[in-house]
Amino acid sequence: MAEEELQRHRAPEPVNITVLRARHLRGSKGDGLSSLVKVEYGSSTLGESAKVDSTNDVAAEYNFNAKFDCSFDDPIVLDEIAFKPVLVTVIEVLPKEKKQKEEKTVLLGQCTVDLLPLVRGETKYKSTLVIHSLPGSPLESIPADGPKAEIDVVVSVTEPLLSEDQLKESNLLTITVEAGYSVPETWNPSGTQYMYNITLPVPLNAERESTVVISNGVLKAVNDKEPPSKQKKWPVPGGAQGGAVFIPDKFVQAVSYDEEDGELAGKEDREFRVEVETDKNRVIWNCERRCYIEPSAVQSLQTKIAHTRFWPVELMRMPMPSAAKAKGKEEDNPIFFHGVAYVNLAPLLYPGVNKIRGAFRVHAYNEAEIVEKTKRKGGLAEEAARMATSMYRNASPSIKAGKTGKDEKGGGKDKDKDAAKKPSQMLKPGQQAPDAMSEVEAPASQNLEGMQYDEARTYIILEFSLQRPMVPKRAPEELAKRVAEYIPPRPLFPRRTNGAQRAVEDFHQQVANIGNMVLEEFRSEFGNQLDNGQLPCSNDAQEERKRKLMYELNTSGKYFAFKEQLKHSVVKIVREKYLKTSAFNNKEELQAFLSELYVFLVDQMHAGIGKVLSLEDETPVPAPLTDSAQLKHFAREAEVNEDFGLAAKYYQERLARNRNDADHWFDYGSFCLLINDISKAEECFKETVSINAQHLYGLLLYGVICSVEERNEVAETFFETASCVDQDSVLAWTMLGLFYDGINNDIQAEYAFMQAQKINQANAVAKMKQQQAIEQQANASQAPGGNEAKITEEPASEKAESEKGPLLPQFTKTPATPTDAKIPLRPQSKDKTPAYKKRMSVSSKSDGNPSGSNESDFAKGTETSQKAFSQDNQRIRSATSNMQGSKMGSRPGSADQEEQQKEQIPVPESSIFMIAVEFLLEVKATQFCERALAHELLIPRGGPTAVYYVALARLKLQRKELQEAQDSLNQALLLNYQDPNAWSIMGHLRYLQGNMPEAKDCYERTLAFVADAREMHAIYLRLASIYLQDGEFQRAKDTFLLACKHSPSCISWLGVGIACYRLGEMSEAEDALCEANILNNSDPEVWGYLSLVCLQTERQLEAEQAYKYAIKVNLKDGELLKEIQAVQEQVGYGNPQF
């Protein structure tokens, strides 16, 4: 604010306009001509130059300087410099004829000089502008391929109009009004001509708003087509005519419908838009209005957008005003067809977004609706009509606002009059507008003309662009730095230091190297005797060989070389181990140290030689029988069985094998979330991110932990970093939106959800194209030579699938119809072949991932198709592409656009919230999962789906809320009675409730479906265990074998062994139990049943050993212990206590 106050008290700054020269001018009487230039700004004439002679080849050197003062006491002056041009008119002066009092002049052409660089901080710039010919000008005769007339203009100021701080804190809003389509049928282009005005308020500072008026709209008929490149016009051209009304080098960019914001961006509106934009009348503006927004106005604009979101843009029609104002009369400016478009400017508050563009519906102007939607009292119509009339008469309303002495005498009347015409004002929170409210309460007259906008579905194309985003987006480098501050990255390998241990190790290495070289010398000297076996071993012979070897080393100089080689390592030991770096004070101290050092070096020499000459073979460490993926599968199996101690053991074993694997830490952290050990989970996710700073899931889960602990600033950093790590991740953007929603930041949440929906839609399109490519390959394979083509194209398809990225959850859509519609709820006879045997050859999905990747855990989600998402939902509309800049695209009416309309638009198989729900259920983040499910209900698509209720039931099961889970499953089955996931979870629910008959019915029904449920392994294990309890051992064996084929584990093989033992198949039982023992040699039940098998097969020693191991690993199954002891008493052995 202090900076703004200093700026207001600053002396006016002169803006110098220097017209240097003009080239390629053509006069009325041949090539030679005399000309001058006239410079205007707004309605003021800044001056005319002297006459200058020139020809077609010789430039007209004007060197004319004009200037005007830029004052700083009112921000509207800088605003005018941003949108008002300097008009330069080239005038030919004809020679005087006889009896002619004054010289005749001919207007040759005009050009406009843009002053916008001054508002951007420049102090001097030069422009070479084309001189646009005026009607009847000799310049019209210049051929199209000839050199065009042009002029050089220099604009300069002594000091920048804005200081460095103001440039950083201020902004520039550019409003582009393109056209209005589907206008009322009563508008006739060939009838009476009218003015079509657009007006809206824009903040000037914290208290004031200016009224922006764009009044050069032209009603055009259907057959009046526009050129492909539409150049933008000046909003206040002043006296400019012809081509001078266009802004140099500014064109309307063609943008496809997919890249638009607005109310008509949906797929269902495209046919209507193509029709009205090609076959109906329209109003064309193609006008650009720049608005300078000082720092206080930037904050005001941001606050108002956050408060109301909607910004009113009024549209009106009025008769053409007379050429001059009648003297002594109050001029009446009637307004017709008063409408308003409510533009949602909230996207301008998204991080990094500086532009929105789209089609916005025009509605009948209604004061009550204005107050409700925009919290504004009063409209801008009357003020806009007055300003439009002034602009039509080539006068600037802002310059005319300066009071003369006569006006000052009027005093109070003028002030009251201006107060009545001031722009609409924003209501403060809690404030009411008494005038507006009284009008709302009173029966207002209907705006019948404005209602025609609603009947015709009129809309206007608008673009709002900022020079820089109001909410800057943090760069990935900055986010990475912040993450490193919270969690320092862990080096992949321990840092090597020159410590004492390292010095000793270097000494050992040098001793080993020298020992090898001495050995080589010995072999070269006595190798022949050694090979022939003639090497004597007496003491005298050994002494003789030693003497010869020492003589050879000394005479060759190798002995000295060996000492030099050892010297460096000995010096390191002295410095690093004994910390001696300075000279000794006396000889006694030196001798004592040398003695101690000699003893140490001799001992270390023997240790080093011992390492090299050791003849004992070390026992190799056997390779583990299980890999990381199997351990993870065993841990997940233990989680399902609620054996959390065993699950923790498996996760910790994975960490013990490789502590530098980020996925191992992440999985362990997810398990800690399940058992509600939040502090340990946080440490695990910290380790995940420290190992791999770009681990998407680790970043998300650490953000979840911080959000739960209400450390929102840290959580925001990690969620935002995740969206930067993988910018095409639906999950990352959805999680960011859920976080912002939790802290009531609706605008940021809306932006994140829109980005996620856009990516989700793009993934659906990519998948549809891939399926179409596969179908084309299949069709081509039926033709001759098709098989070869299919073989060569398959790798490319696999590559395209892999390029989607491993971090994005994928969901498959599969049918859910049972193989037999008449299958009973429960089997009628035990002798009948079970339905699940038909599935022995069906490959089912694994709970574990053989590759060790996290992605498969999140890729087993929803199987049921969902309805189309409505484009009316603000938070998930897929029209945010233009936030990153305007892109060229196909325009309505073109052949490409019409072809695109006919293309099938795919519907994503899962909503962005269900993708997040699937991930959050897998990682047990229940709080965010509940939030995501709540958002799923808000999607306007006809109510919750079966997939939603299944996910809700899974969440309730994780929280042990069994009754609520049952209610959700009942709703899911009402919506889709053939959903295998619903039936499988219903089976789990009955199993946990102890209702085994109904649990068995649900599991059997699940296995009867063609489509697999998401957790087949748990279904196999629990169904087979029920069979064991019911005594159906053959069915239990078959089901356990299915689990082993699906993903073998200790529990599945143990089940096979128990079933075979009960069936009397001792050999098969022993084989199965041995497999179980290999996978987990500390399972007490495995040792117990192995003891039983050995007792039954009369193997006393093995039976006793198995029994001792069962007791050692704490066998707690009392019934199994009783059975073992009974068999031991029966056979008379097996228990060492006998």
Is residue 796 over pLDDT 60?
no
What count of other Cβ atoms lies within 10 Å of the Cβ of residue 412?
A: 7
What count of other Cβ atoms lies within 10 Å of the Cβ of residue 709?
A: 13
pLDDT at 518: 83
Comparing 222-236, 241-255, 723-737, 858-872, the range with the smallest average pLDDT is 858-872
Confidence category of residue 19, pLDDT binned at 50, 70, 90 = very high
Comparing 231-240, 399-408, 422-431, 785-794, the range with the smallest average pLDDT is 399-408
Determine contact, residues 386/421, Cβ cutoff 8 Å.
yes
Distance CA 872, CA 914 (A): 19
Distance CA 183, CA 393 (A): 27
Q: Which structure tokens are listed for 375? A: 């919290």
pLDDT at 722: 93
Confidence category of residue 216, pLDDT binned at 50, 70, 90 = confident
Comparing 54-68, 545-559, 802-816, the range with the smallest average pLDDT is 802-816
- Which helix (H) or strand (E) segment holds residue 1133: the answer is none
pLDDT digits (tens, 9 = 90+) for 871-921: 334 443 333 333 333 333 334 444 444 444 445 678 888 889 999 999 999
Of 483-492, 786-795, 842-851, 875-884, highest mean pLDDT: 483-492
Is residue 996 over pLDDT 70?
yes
User: Who contacts 495 (Cβ-Cβ below 8 Å, separation ≥6)?
Assistant: none
What count of other Cβ atoms lies within 10 Å of the Cβ of residue 1071?
A: 16
Which of 647, 703, 749 lies closest to 306, judged by CA? Answer: 749
Average pLDDT of the residues in 721-745: 92
User: Of 502 and 533, which is predicted with more confidence?
Assistant: 502
Distance of CA 338 to the CA centre of its chain: 41
Is residue 145 over pLDDT 90?
no
Determine contact, residues 698/666, Cβ cutoff 8 Å.
yes
Comparing 57-66, 605-614, 786-795, the range with the smallest average pLDDT is 786-795
pLDDT at 28: 82
**Phi, psi angle pair for 519, to nearest 5°:** -65, -40
User: Who contacts 785 (Cβ-Cβ below 8 Å, separation ≥6)?
Assistant: none
Q: Which structure tokens are listed for 966? A: 């049952």
Q: Quick one: the chain helix, strand, coil %, rounded to 5?
A: 50, 15, 35
pLDDT digits (tens, 9 = 90+) for 908-937: 888 899 999 999 999 989 889 999 999 888
pLDDT at 937: 86
pLDDT at 376: 83
Distance CA 1097, CA 1100 (A): 9
User: Who contacts 701 (Cβ-Cβ below 8 Å, separation ≥6)?
Assistant: 666, 669, 670, 673, 681, 685, 688, 923, 925
Confidence category of residue 1114, pLDDT binned at 50, 70, 90 = confident
- Which helix (H) or strand (E) segment holds residue 158: the answer is none
| Ordered DSSP codes for 942-968 | SS--HHHHHHHHHHHHHTT-HHHHHHH
- Which helix (H) or strand (E) segment holds residue 1137: the answer is none
Is residue 1130 over pLDDT 50?
yes
Determine contact, residues 312/306, Cβ cutoff 8 Å.
no
Q: Which structure tokens are listed for 124? A: 């001097």
Tell me the whole-structure pTM to 2 decimals: 0.72
User: Who contacts 847 (Cβ-Cβ below 8 Å, separation ≥6)?
Assistant: 633, 636, 637, 1015, 1016, 1017, 1018, 1047
User: Of 791 and 1127, which is predicted with more confidence?
Assistant: 1127
- Which helix (H) or strand (E) segment holds residue 429: the answer is none
What is residue 624's DSSP assignment? P
**DSSP-derived pairing of the beta strands 459-466 and 336-344:** unpaired
Determine contact, residues 95/103, Cβ cutoff 8 Å.
yes
Report the SS3 class of residue 106: strand
Query: Residue 428 burial (CB < 10 Å; 0-12/13-18/19+)?
Result: exposed
Count Cβ neighbours within 10 Å for each residue of 1006-1041 and write b for 16 or more, e otherwise.
bbbbebbbbbbbbbbbbbbbbbbeeebbebbbbbbb
Confidence category of residue 55, pLDDT binned at 50, 70, 90 = confident
pLDDT at 239: 84
User: Of 912 and 491, which is predicted with more confidence?
Assistant: 912
Confidence category of residue 490, pLDDT binned at 50, 70, 90 = confident
Comparing 32-41, 184-193, 416-425, the range with the smallest average pLDDT is 416-425
Is residue 67 over pLDDT 70?
yes
pLDDT digits (tens, 9 = 90+) for 644-700: 999 999 999 999 988 888 999 999 999 999 998 999 999 999 999 999 999 999 999
Matching residue, tokens 């071993």:
537
pLDDT digits (tens, 9 = 90+) for 167-211: 889 999 999 999 999 999 889 888 888 889 999 999 988 888 888
pLDDT at 1128: 85
Is residue 632 over pLDDT 70?
yes
pLDDT at 832: 36
Count Cβ neighbours within 10 Å for each residue of 285-298 and write b for 16 or more, e otherwise.
bbbbbbbbbbbbbb
What is residue 1009's DSSP assignment? B
Distance CA 1051, CA 1055 (A): 6
Matching residue, tokens 């899911």:
972
pLDDT at 881: 36
Determine contact, residues 609/515, Cβ cutoff 8 Å.
yes
pLDDT at 615: 54
Residue-averaged pLDDT of the chain: 79
Of 427-441, 776-790, 816-830, 899-913, highest mean pLDDT: 899-913
Helices marked H in 149-294: 164-169, 270-279
pLDDT at 359: 92
pLDDT at 32: 81
Distance of CA 394 to the CA centre of its chain: 49
pLDDT at 612: 75
**DSSP-derived pairing of the beta strands 261-262 and 355-364:** parallel
Cα angle 1011-929-703, degrees, rounded to a multiple of 5: 125
pLDDT at 412: 38
Confidence category of residue 403, pLDDT binned at 50, 70, 90 = very low
pLDDT at 179: 92
Distance CA 723, CA 730 (A): 9
Is residue 464 over pLDDT 90?
yes
pLDDT digits (tens, 9 = 90+) for 806-848: 333 333 333 333 333 333 333 333 333 333 333 333 333 333 3
What count of other Cβ atoms lies within 10 Å of the Cβ of residue 996?
A: 15
pLDDT at 433: 45
| Ordered DSSP codes for 861-922 | ---S--PPPPTT-GGG-S--GGGG-------TTSHHHHHHHHS-----SS-HHHHHHHHHHH
Q: For the chain, give the percent of residues with pLDDT over 90.
A: 33
How far does the chain reach from its first CA to its final CA, in angstroms?
97
Cα angle 864-870-872, degrees, rounded to a multiple of 5: 160
**DSSP-derived pairing of the beta strands 171-181 and 459-466:** antiparallel
Comparing 527-531, 905-909, 956-960, the range with the smallest average pLDDT is 527-531
Torsion sign, CA atoms 384, 389, 394, 397: negative
Which of 389, 396, 281 lies closest to 335, judged by CA? Answer: 389
Is residue 5 over pLDDT 80?
no
What is residue 236's DSSP assignment? S
Is residue 1098 over pLDDT 80?
yes
What is residue 267's DSSP assignment? G
Comparing 340-354, 433-447, 454-468, the range with the smallest average pLDDT is 433-447
Helices 696-708 and 662-674: crossing angle in degrees, nearest 10, is 30
Residues constituting the chain: 1138
